[in-house]
Amino acid sequence: MGALVKILTLSCLLALTLPTLAEVGWWKTAQFYQIYPRSFKDSDDDGVGDINGITQQLAYLKEIGITATWLSPIFTSPMADFGYDVANLTDIDPIFGTMEDFERLLARAKELDIKIILDFVPNHTSDECDWFIRSAAGEEEYKDFYVWHTGKVVNGIRQPPTNWIGVFRGSMWTWHEGRQAYYLHQFHAKQPDLNYRNPKVVEAMKDVLRFWLRKGAFGFRIDAVPHVYEVPADADGNWPDEPRNENSNDPEDYGYLQHIYTTDQPETIELVYAFREVIEEIDQELGGDDRILLTEAYSPLNILMQYYGNGTHLGSQIPFNFNLLANIGFDSDAYHYSELIHNWLDNMPEGQVANWVFGNHDQSRIGSRLGADRIDACNMIVLTLPGVSITYQGEEMGMTDVFISWEDTVDPQACQTNEEEFESHTRDPVRTPFQWSDEKNAGFSDAQSTWLPVGLDYKLVNVKRERGIALSHLNIYKQLRALRDEPTLKQGDVTVTAIGPNVLAFKRSLAGQKSYITVININDDVESINLDSVFTSISSQLQYVVVNDKSVRRKNDLTFANSVLLMPKEAVVLSTV
Ligand code: GLC
Ligand code: MG
């Protein structure tokens, strides 16, 4: 073939042994799928997706083998942050439908054996939430539901109590005329932070969990957990300023400060344990399959591992593993991939389950971030490593970021910047309508216009078309998913390694069963690798089980283990014979 055959050096080979999953709870090997309801399917043609749309299309989740789906918020909201600003925590927003619609969704999900997980936003509510209105009015019961401070007066001028800067730019404090005080908001001014140092808040929020669990939700994705607590105030009720981050020169930008007093406070972990107790309580009360928590935290690994629980408390079953999502870049080599995968597996407390995530509604899509020719590779990593797989809607067919002009931009994180900078802050490009078909608005809606524009590539990248293409991203996803039914993939050990800078490989094995080896050529050199010298006890011949469209080999072809040829960006799963 005239190919450049490389002499490969083997490094970083570490065997990992996972505890055998004696009792496999449903979620431990489950496929999770995130639905962003505004953009999944619009049933009433107002240009915004809704609950009935999800119900209509739930069979699609079954088609791609999903076990459970978490829905971004569907609760009553003025939509300042598209639902992450909740005004009524126990009701459905009319844009998404009614409580009856939600109940119908639950019933349909039950029929299809798909579990519905809701988004729970503990850090803040909307400023239009009844609790906030009462708090601002100083009503006794609610006055300490939020974080209030009269500020400090410097040279006769009133100023916010601290220098803290919010995630969406600018001061974390907004002056409230009615209450004559500042309130804290780690995100948008329309998202006031709840005060978790008030036990009534903790109880009220636990009741919200109970409400939805009793309705039939199987758990929650918990939003923005590291932001829930701020450092305790001193004896005078004041907080310290946060130190500068020398890397940033923009005093309005979140990155300008080191958030040592406003994120990852130890009480946060305790709160997750308290929420888990509610889960256990409702498991007792209602019986049936386990209910679960997935927690969103972009925190250091040692903190994330505490989310799982400690010796005495249970925590979140699934602390999102954003290791790959946050650290893998376009130029990352195979050593980096391997190291990040090891980081999680090697540090996980005994008996816990790993999870793998490459995308969500806040992050640039895989194909745009890492290249469209790495989409199958990422899906392969997520679906063939041990534990839980998590897929953001559209990643299974390879949707990519859609350019949205400044005029069309609606994400508050971008709108609070300016025309020059918004592109590096906007999350709109990953939230565009789901591409079902080549029909009007990609089959998402019959409306004249949709809340965000539909991707220009929808005639090529859509579910309907990809169903008919043997090696489309969608069909490869489905094959990988089917493979997860194999005992080896469900319960097997894993050995992860980089074979030189370009090839990531991992082997799944289980006594008495076939072994499976995922091999990914991350870059554009043709590679020839000797898997025999990398992995122990594999057969001299291996069989192709899943190939991508870069492969010259086909499914069921055989290869010698000591000379596996990989085309640029080829990603395959092989099995022993
Ligand atoms: C989380 C959500 C994000 C939202 C923020 C504030 O990070 O994923 O979309 O803007 O919390 O609720
Ligand atoms: Mg609609």
pLDDT one-digit tens code per residue, 512-541: 999 999 999 999 999 999 999 999 989 999
Q: Tokens 């591409």 map to which residue? A: 435
User: Which of 17-26, 172-181, 408-417, 549-558 comes out lowest in average pLDDT?
Assistant: 17-26
| Average pLDDT for the chain | 95
Q: Is the pLDDT of residue 168 over 90?
A: yes
Chain segment 225-254, per-residue pLDDT in tens: 999 999 999 999 999 999 999 999 999 999
At 311, the pLDDT band (50, 70, 90 cuts) reads confident
Question: Is residue 66 within 8 Å of residue 32, measured between CB atoms?
Answer: yes
Dihedral of CA atoms 548, 551, 556, 560 in degrees, nearest 10, equals: -130
Model confidence, pTM: 0.95
Query: Is pLDDT above 90 for 5?
Result: no
In words, the CATH class of domain 492-576 is: mainly beta
Ligand 1 atom closest to the CA of 168, numbered from 1: 10
Q: Which amino acid type is present at position 525? A: D
Dump pLDDT digits (tens) for 537-559. 899 999 999 999 999 999 999 99
Predicted local confidence at residue 375, as pLDDT: 98
Pocket test for ligand 1, best of 34, 84, 320 (most atoms within 8 A of CB): 84
Q: Which amino acid is at 414?
A: A
Domain boundaries, the chain: 26-124+199-478, 130-184, 492-576
Sign of CA dihedral 550, 554, 555, 559: negative
User: What is d(CA 24, CA 361) in angstroms, rounded to the nearest whole number?
Assistant: 29
78-107 pLDDT per residue, tens: 999 999 999 999 999 999 999 999 999 999
Please tell me the distance from the alpha carbon of residue 290 to that of residue 293, in angstroms, as a whole number. Answer: 10
pLDDT, tens only, 441-471: 999 999 999 999 999 999 999 999 999 999 9
Q: For the beta carbon of residue 482, count every other beta carbon within 10 angstroms.
A: 14
pLDDT of 401 strictly over 50:
yes
Q: Which of 188, 223, 298 to mutate to test the pocket of ligand 1 (most atoms within 8 A of CB)?
A: 223
Q: Which two tokens stand for residue 191?
A: 């998202």
> Which entry of 101, 193, 223, 401 is annotated as an active-site residue?
223
Percent of the residues in the chain that have a pLDDT greater than 70, as a whole number: 96
Spatial distance between the Cα atoms of 330 and 351, rounded to a whole number of angstroms: 33
Residue 11 pLDDT greater than 80, yes or no = no
Q: Which ligand is nearest to the CA of 40?
A: 2
Q: Helices in 217-256 by DSSP H: which ranges?
A: none
Would you say residue 9 has pLDDT above 60? no
Residue holding tokens 């928590």? 293
350 as an active site residue: the answer is no
Inter-CA distances, 129 with 90, 124, 135, 172, Å: 11, 10, 10, 19
Whether 224 is in the pocket of ligand 1, judged by its Cβ within 6 Å, is yes
Band (pLDDT 50/70/90 cuts) for residue 115 is very high
pLDDT score of 382: 98
Instruction: Retrieve residue 334's tokens.
Output: 């195979």
514-526 as b/e, with b when 16 or more CB fall inside 10 Å?
A: bbbbbbbbbbebb
Q: What is d(CA 205, CA 198) in angstroms, rounded to the nearest whole number? A: 11
High-pLDDT (> 90) share of the chain, %:
95
What 3-state class would DSSP assign to 25? coil
Least confident window among 20-34, 51-65, 490-504: 20-34
pLDDT above 90 for 17: no
Q: Distance between terminal CA atoms of the chain?
A: 27
Q: Is 63 helix (H, G, I), strand (E, B) or coil?
A: helix
Give me the amino acid identity at 117: I
Spatial distance between the Cα atoms of 494 and 345, rounded to a whole number of angstroms: 9
8-state DSSP, 315 = -
**Residue 264: helix, strand or coil by DSSP?**
coil
Query: Per-residue pLDDT for 429 more than 50?
Result: yes
Ligand 1 pocket residue status of 85, Cβ below 6 Å: no
Q: Given pLDDT bands bounded at 50, 70 and 90, which one contains residue 399? A: very high
Interatomic CA distance for residues 442 and 452, integer angstroms: 12
Protein residues placing their CB within 5 Å of the ion ligand 2: 42, 44, 46, 48, 50
Cα–Cα dist 41/433, whole Å: 8
Among this protein's residues, is 525 annotated catalytic? no
What CATH number is given for 26-124+199-478 in this structure? 3.20.20.80
Q: What are the percentages of helix, strand and coil residues in the chain, rounded to 5? A: 30, 20, 50
Q: Is 362 in the pocket of ligand 1 (CB under 6 A)?
A: yes
CA of 92 to the centre of ligand 2 (A): 13
How far apart CA 432 and CA 36 sit, in angstroms, is 9
Are 494 and 506 contacting, i.e. CB atoms less than 8 angstroms apart? yes
Check residue 165 and give its pLDDT.
98
Tokens (6 digits) for 491? 């319960």
Q: Fill in the DSSP letter of residue 233.
A: P
**Given a cut of 60, is residue 10 above it in pLDDT?**
no
Q: How remote is the CA of residue 219 from the centroid of ligand 1, in Å?
A: 18
What is the rounded average pLDDT of the residues 489-494? 97
**Out of 3.40.50.20, 3.40.50.150, 3.40.50.2000, 3.90.400.10, which CATH number does the structure's domain 130-184 have?**
3.90.400.10
